[in-house]
Amino acid sequence: MPPLTSDDALALSKSYRDLSVAIGDFRFKNWNTLSEADRKALEEKEWALLNASSDMVTKAVGLTLDESDAAAKKVQGAAATAEKAVKTLKEVRKVITIAAAAVGLAAAIASKDPGAIAKNSKAVLDAATS
């Protein structure tokens, strides 16, 4: 697999941030109807995604990039689909499921495990399109 480029890392950073923003918008928009537990669950995912975005910025800036390719385009596609779904969904359970899958994908990328990346990309797509 080709190495993850600085541009790939930057694009992934934006995807994670956008998804974190979309989940945050959902949480604030539905603040009064969400339970305390749901708000907390969503917020935890938002921070995890925002920190994954910062990790990608660090990688983009980094002078060493020898990680195996995260099939960056595929991952970006999954994150974009998830963001689009979160923007239109009204059901909090689904949003939490998508957010959890997206956090799993971020962790898989951090672990540099191509198998886990592929599996979690699919999980995000499944959660966003089911």
Partner 1 sequence: MRRHGRGPELRFIAFACLAFIASGCANLTAIREFASTSSDAAQYSQLVVAYVDTPSRMKRYEPESQRATLDRQVAERKAQQERLLLRQKLIQEYMDALGQLAGDELTVYDKELDALGNAAKAAKFVDQGEATAFAAVSKVLVLAVTDRWRQGKLVSLIEQTDGPFQVVVGALVKVVEQEFAADIANEREALNKYYTGLERQGRDAAGLAALAEWREVREGQIKGHEVAIRNYAVVLKTIAVGHHKLYESRHHLSRPEVQAEIHQYTKRLKEAFNALAAL
CA distance 13 to 21: 12
Residue 80 interacting with partner 1 (CB under 8 A): no
Nearer to partner 1, 107 or 116 (CB): 107
Cβ neighbours around 23 below 10 Å, total: 25
**Contact between 22 and 83 (Cβ < 8 Å):** yes
Residue 15 interacting with partner 1 (CB under 8 A): no
Range 47-66, binding partner 1 (CB under 8 A): 47-48, 50-51, 53-55, 57-58, 60-65
Burial class of residue 130, CB neighbours in 10 A (0-12, 13-18, 19+): exposed
**Which tokens hold the place of 46?**
């938002």
Q: In the chain, what is the straight-line distance between the N-terminal and C-terminal CA atoms, in Å?
A: 30
DSSP string covering 78-103? HHHHHHHHHHH---HHHHHHHHHHHH
Residue 85: CB minimum distance to partner 1, A: 19
Residue 27: CB minimum distance to partner 1, A: 8
Residue 41: CB minimum distance to partner 1, A: 12
Binding region for partner 1 (CB under 8 A) out of 20-28, 69-77, 84-92, 97-105:
20-28
Query: Which chain residues interact with partner 1 by CB under 8 A?
Result: 5-6, 10, 13-14, 17, 20-21, 24, 28, 31, 43-44, 46-48, 50-51, 53-55, 57-58, 60-65
